[in-house]
Each structure stands twice: as structure tokens, then as C-alpha cells.
A and B are shown apart, each in its own frame.
Chain A
Amino acid sequence: MGADRQLDIVGEAEDEIAAINIALGASYMGIRSLTATSGGGFSLMAEAFGLA
């Protein structure tokens, strides 16, 4: 996102698995979605990453 753009909705999920599944659900509705993580969080996202 550039400095002139802003995120419309920012949410905090209960865990990384929920975070990536929420991003997937929003994407399925045609919304541009983003989630970020690192290390062990990405391990939790591995299964849903295959669906992304």
C-alpha cells in the first residue's frame, strides 16, 4: 500500500490459521485481502496456503 492508500478494514484474528482463512474468505468475495506473519505463524498457515 502506498502512502496515499489506506486499508478499509483491519482485523486481528484469534490465530494465524484464522487469519489466512479470513483473508481467503474476503478474497472469495472479491475483496483484496492481505495477511502477514513470520516463522511459526507461517507453519500454522501452511495448510490454508495451499488453498490461496
Chain B
Amino acid sequence: MLTDQFLPDFYSIILNAVKQALVDMDLRPHEVILVSGIGQAAKLPHYLRCNFFNGLHGRALPVATAIRIANSDLPVIVIGGDGDTYGEEGNHFIHALRRDINMTLITHNNQVFGLTRGQSSPTTERGFVTTVQTHGVFLDPLNPVTLAI
């Protein structure tokens, strides 16, 4: 298992917050499950010693929905990035909101696809220049919180 000293600081902030929340909730490793897809953020469960399901790109929410229905005593935490959650997972995101399943979704929104080296995501601001969007992003960003509300 890797320790914090090998991780960049920006990553550790969310990781440490999740760790602290689990400690504050007095949950033992087998009393919680993390579900994630693919991406830098989706690797977070690898740095914890607890149950987790690391599935496919943008498919964490359907798995988490089923886990929560199958075992309603188990707190479910879904971890993903903005590309993973609002891009590939966009449809599942909408329907997870409709189903209103009792679970926690934590999205690391850095406004790029990090694992594939910084392409624009659905939340990238207009004008942001990337290696693909060399003249800047020309679409308005999605506001996921507005969508959720």
C-alpha cells in the first residue's frame, strides 16, 4: 500500500478528507464500500484499505446503485473525476439523481481529463486552451450542481 508521501499534495487533500470522514463516522474498513470508474480520481480507493469496486469508465453509479439496493446497511461512496462523472457517466448521473439512492458522490472537478493529459471535460471553462482545443474551448461548461438541483 502506498503512503501519502508518494502522492502530490492536491490529490492528498481529497484523499485525506475522505479518510478523516470515515474516521469521524467511526466506520471500520469492512463497514463501507467505495465505487469508482476510470481516471486519476477513480484511483483514490486504491489508496485506502477497505472494500471497493473499481469498474469501467463512467459506470460507477449503476454499480453503486445496485450495491446500495442489495445491501442497504452499507454506506456507499462513489468517487470520480469530472470527465468520468459528467462526461462518460452523464446519462447515469441524471438517472442516479432521478432514483435518489442514498449514497455519496464525490467528484474531483479539475476541469480536465487528467489521466489522458489534460483534454477538456464537460466542466472546462470557455476559452481554456488544451493540446486538442488549441484555440480554446468554445462550448459553455456544464453546471453539475444546477443540474442536480
Contact = CB atoms under 8 A, between A and B. Distances in A.
Contacts of B55: 21, 24, 48, 51
Interface residues of B, number: 19
A43 to B, nearest CB: 15
Contacts, number: 63
Contacts of B59: 17-18, 21, 48
B71 interface: yes
A25 B56 contact: no
A19 B92 CA distance: 11
B92 A47 contact: no
Given A17-B59, A29-B70, A22 B95 contact: no
B69 A21 contact: no
A21 B70 contact: no
B62 A21 contact: yes
Nearest to B53: A28
Contacts of B71: 29
A40 to B, nearest CB: 16
B66 to A, nearest CB: 3
B107 interface: no
Interface string A17-46: 111011111101111010000000000000
18 contacts: A13-B95, A14-B94, A14-B95, A17-B59, A17-B62, A17-B92, A18-B91, A21-B62, A21-B66, A22-B66, A25-B62, A26-B69, A28-B53, A28-B67, A29-B67, A33-B66, A47-B56, A48-B59
